[in-house]
Amino acid sequence: MQLDTSRFLSDRLIFNDALDSKFQIANGFWDWIQRIVSWIFAPSAYSDENRRTVQAFQRYLVDALGAERLQRISSRYDINLSEMERKGSPLLSRDVAKIVIGSKNITVEDINEKIQRNQDDPRFAGKNDFSELDGATLNAVKSELFGQFDRMWQVAEITDRITGRPTQWLSRFFYDPFLADRERLQVMADHPDDTFIDFMHNMVARVIKREMSVGTLIPAPSKEDGTPQYYYITGKLVTGRGMVSYILHPAGTDSDLEPLRLFRGTSPRNSELDAISTVITDLEADLGRSAYESGNIFEPVIQDWLGTPEIEGGHSMGSTIIQHRLVEMDHIKKAYLFCGPGVTEAEAEHFNEKNPDVHLYIRVAHNDFWHKLGAIHLGYQAPENVHVDFVRYHPRGNHDHDPHVSVWGRMPEHFEIEEGITPEMRDEALDHRSFTCEIYRATVGPIVAFFLQWMRDLIRFFFSSRIAVENGLKIGHMDGPVWRVEHFRAV
């Protein structure tokens, strides 16, 4: 059964015990008339039919998902089946689609519950939680949970191009977790076949732009022998001053993966978490400085609970945050820097004087305006111990893909690697001081940032927002047989 998610007036489902699926879509002319009339006056027969449908649907979901997992999905998408039953509200295709997508958004809690509910399964013999499963078993369990409703309901793929911004206009103003999860699941589908650097690019440019909860399972590039691999989110940091960062650890006892820390780039749309702060930190004299400093207070807690990942990746302003960290910290061994503006001349000089043993994987696009901001990108006149892997992509033919957010390695038909880049050409590309856009930003930006700071603080004083709930560091861990998330806030 194909579920309609494209319209506000989506199809109504009704319970029909004579059908194998037990539900049918009611989208005839008379059904639409009933829907419209029910806004003013709902006949008792119509409301009772809706109640029976919601009751049957809820019973089915509790049996299929378990009460706890159903509650997690319902809470994320603000679905209240009990209230729908009380009011006699119709069960819409969009409501069912939210449950289907939520069931595909696998978390370690889902894996743990399956293990605990199926202790007679030989795969789980002697196992208590997800951390004790090897990669093949973890993948099998994930696939079973992921495809739980595929025989009954299908949600069509998004046909619009999925970039860094939401694919629906209204969702650029109001956060829609349902759309965000649909988009994220779709752009992660090719991760098993990606190279590691394309995986990192997709994660920082597109995936983490769509908010995730601690404990979410993330597909990663498969091993050379084809064995599936996964990460899971162990930490999420939101500072309220422009930094949104995720920490990932490998899942599976036989994984070849290493822990990662990822930093989100500029997110200027109203629906995106802490949007105004990312614009402010883009405009300040030392680009990204306030965002970088806002996260420092949480570093000891991250170290104590999760350790410090030696691999970090960021896109746009997220890349600049990592550059600040490279200048002032010593733990990073590999940094994946995509489309990143630079830091100040003084910081670049200090980094070169440190001469750290680090690999910088720098990727830019020839016609990308945004990475030309900031004074100097690290890697400029790099000393001996700084290993710079610099690649610049060039558009191939005519197309309208935005080079700033496109995952170029996934698009060889549209982007090609420029050949013959010399160290001198690389240094010229990493020195942004003479670019007109940077001169204007450095001159006018701090003035605009000053007024935006006042506006941000004033808005937060008078109005509540998601930042008030999300602000701080969330860390997930196993506490005996239970997955717990601790929330630390700065004081």
pLDDT bin (cut points 50, 70, 90) of residue 440 is very high
Q: Are residues 209 and 337 in the same domain?
A: yes
pLDDT bin (cut points 50, 70, 90) of residue 404 is very high
SS3 letters across the chain: CEECCCCCCCCEEEECCCCCCCEEEECCHHHHHHHHHHCCCCCHHHHHHHHHHHHHHHHHHHHHHCHHHHHHHHHHHCCCHHHHHHHCCCEEHHHHHHHHHHHHCCEHHHHHHHHHHCCCCHHHCCCCCHHHCCHHHHHHHHHHHHCCCCCCCEECCCCCCCCCCCCCCHHHCCCCHHHHHHHHHHHCCCHHHCCHHHHHHHHHHCHHHCCCCCCEEEEECCCCCCCCEEEEEEEEEECCCCCEEEEEEEECCCCCCCCEEEECCCCCCCCCCCHHHHHHHHHCCCCCHHHHHHCHHHHHHHHHHHCCCCEEEEECHHHHHHHHHHHHCCCCCEEEEECCCCECHHHHHHHHHHCCCEEEEEEEECCCCHHHCCCECCCCCCCCCEEEEEEEEEECCCCCCCCCCCCHHHCCCCEEECCCCCHHHHHHHHECCCCHHHHHHHHHHHHHHHHHHHHHHHHHHHCCCHHHHHCEEEEEEEECCEEEEEEECCC
Q: Are residues 260 and 311 in the same domain?
A: yes
Q: What does the pLDDT read at residue 7? A: 62
Q: Are residues 363 and 291 in the same domain?
A: yes
pLDDT bin (cut points 50, 70, 90) of residue 327 is very high
Q: Are residues 433 and 317 in the same domain?
A: yes
Q: Are residues 198 and 146 in the same domain?
A: no
pLDDT tens digits for 150-190?
Answer: 888 889 899 899 998 999 998 999 999 999 999 999 999 99
Q: What does the pLDDT read at residue 397? A: 85
Q: Are residues 470 and 364 in the same domain?
A: yes
Q: What CATH number is associated with residue 399?
A: 3.40.50
Residue 480 has pLDDT above 90, yes or no: no
Residue 429 domain-assigned (yes or no):
yes
Give me the domain span that covers residue 143: 2-155
pLDDT bin (cut points 50, 70, 90) of residue 47 is confident
Q: Are residues 145 and 198 in the same domain?
A: no
Residue 386 domain-assigned (yes or no):
yes
409 beta partners: none
Q: What does the pLDDT read at residue 3? A: 79
Q: What does the pLDDT read at residue 24? A: 81
pLDDT tens digits for 56-69?
Answer: 999 999 999 999 99
Residue 176 domain-assigned (yes or no):
no
Q: What does the pLDDT read at residue 9? A: 63
Residue 180 domain-assigned (yes or no):
no
Average model confidence (pLDDT) across the chain: 92
Q: Are residues 279 and 400 in the same domain?
A: yes
Q: Are residues 101 and 200 in the same domain?
A: no
Q: What does the pLDDT read at residue 306? A: 96
How many domains, the chain? 2
Q: Residue range 331-340: average pLDDT?
A: 97
pLDDT tens digits for 213-236?
Answer: 999 999 999 999 999 999 999 999
Q: Residue range 410-424: average pLDDT?
A: 93
Residue 171 domain-assigned (yes or no):
no
Residue ending a domain, choose from 128, 155, 182: 155
pTM of the predicted model, to two decimals? 0.94
Q: Are residues 253 and 142 in the same domain?
A: no
Q: Between the CA of residue 107 and those of 102, 146, 214, 218, 233, what are the distances in Å? A: 10, 11, 8, 9, 9
Residue 272 domain-assigned (yes or no):
yes
Q: What does the pLDDT read at residue 425? A: 94
Residue 303 domain-assigned (yes or no):
yes
Residue ending a domain, choose from 105, 128, 155: 155
Q: What does the pLDDT read at residue 8? A: 59
Residue 262 domain-assigned (yes or no):
yes
CB 197, CB 409: distance < 8 Å: yes
Q: What does the pLDDT read at residue 400? A: 85
Q: Are residues 353 and 228 in the same domain?
A: yes
pLDDT tens digits for 104-156?
Answer: 999 999 999 999 999 899 999 989 999 999 999 999 999 999 999 988 888 98
pLDDT tens digits for 449-467?
Answer: 999 999 999 999 898 888 9
Q: Are residues 228 and 330 in the same domain?
A: yes
